[in-house]
Amino acid sequence: MWLRPKHLVNMDSVDSTLPPRTRLAMFFRGMRRCGPIAVSAIPFGAAAGIAAADVGMSPLEASAMSLLIFAGASQLAVLELAKTGAPPVVMVLVAVTINLRFAMYSAALSTWAKSTRRSIRILLAYMLTDQAFAVTTNALLAGEVGSTSARTADSTATDAAAPPDEDMRDDTVVFYAGAAIALWVAWQFGTLAGAIAGLQAPEGLGIDFIAPLAFVALAGTAIRTRFDVVGATASVATFLLLSNLPYGLALIPAAIIGVSAREIARRALGVSA
Amino acid sequence: MTWWTIPVIGLLTFAIRAVFVLLPPSPRIERLRPALLALPIAVMPVLATSSLIASGIDPSKVVGVIVAAIVALTTRSTAGAMAAGLVAFWIGRALTGEM
């Protein structure tokens, strides 16, 4: 039953179960696939920790922030706004704006975890990140998960006889869980290490420059097409024009203008995706 | 920063992450997909600009930012771009005698 093939794209058809050994193998496969990305997330987490130390947070407070929010770009943005004395409402608005993209990932996760228990789904949703989502999507596209071959590679006759598990029935969601946990651990470690290092870093090292660098790095890796360049340019230009607005409020109209400009450019050139 | 800012952001972020895991996805959300996924593309350069202005612009930082941007665009590595930008910044500071 659990070897039944399913279509890669139409995840609605997923209703199979995984034997325990295969489930564990899939989990570690997800961890391994996300490993290099998780390692590279440590310096970025450290940047968030350093930025937290820079606004006067203790390592414990920085870790609490990472545990509660667990979203690097918005954490850094909130800390930058805190430095400028922005009101809490602005911080909340900016963080929500940055994190709205997670709603799209949430829609994908709902199909991967369709047959998973509600409590587990909630936990998996908490750990949604760009990286874990990308790694799982790539694995799906490559047929590494969500396919018969992915299951037979790690299965034995003993597995086939094992009773079905009610918590996690699909290899995609187990793979995703491995990737997400690897990233979560790396991020929490990075933040704590950064917060501790930030308190002890000498003045000359320029730790206040870490946050701008992190944003430049994030922007550089996010920009992939000419439409992205149009959106990024429009948003920065809008921000600079409205930079007299207090508390970084210009970010909201800048984001709206940037996204709109990108969309207009995309439609003007007749690109549908 | 007030004590409730971070918990509220955490709660709202979790709500965004969990919305379609707990509720059935609306077909309308598909129409918003390009805009939602483009948000970081529009927001990150603005945050980079604003935080750079806030931290004070000097030649070493400009060099650091340029190096980080080039490495990010060519290698797609966030950690690599940060490391390269930081090293370029430190070299700039050492050359100008600020470090």
- Per-residue model confidence as pLDDT tens digits over A198-223: 888 777 777 778 888 888 988 888 88
- ipTM exceeding cut-off 0.90 for this assembly: no
Alpha helices in chain A (DSSP H): 20-54, 59-69, 72-83, 88-99, 102-112, 118-126, 130-141, 148-153, 157-161, 171-200, 210-222, 226-241, 251-268
Q: Which residue has the tokens 């129409």?
A: B31
Judged by CB atoms closer than 8 Å, whether chains meet at B1 and A91 is answered as yes
**Which of residues 100 through 129 in chain A touch B, CB cutoff 8 A?**
100-107, 109-110, 113, 118, 121-122, 124-126, 128
Chain A residues with CB under 8 Å of B22 CB are 118, 121-122, 125
Instruction: Give the pLDDT score at A167.
Output: 40
Which pLDDT band, with edges at 50, 70 and 90, does B12 fall under?
very high
- Per-residue model confidence as pLDDT tens digits over A35-87: 888 888 888 899 899 999 989 999 999 999 999 999 988 999 999 889 888 89
pTM for this prediction: 0.77
Name, in order, each residue with C-beta under 8 angstroms of A161's C-beta and a sequence gap of 6 or more: A19
- Per-residue model confidence as pLDDT tens digits over B20-77: 888 877 777 777 777 877 888 888 898 888 888 877 888 899 999 999 999 999 998 8
Do the beta carbons of residue A232 and residue B42 sit within 8 Å?
Answer: yes
**Closest-CA distance of chain A to residue B22, Å:** 8
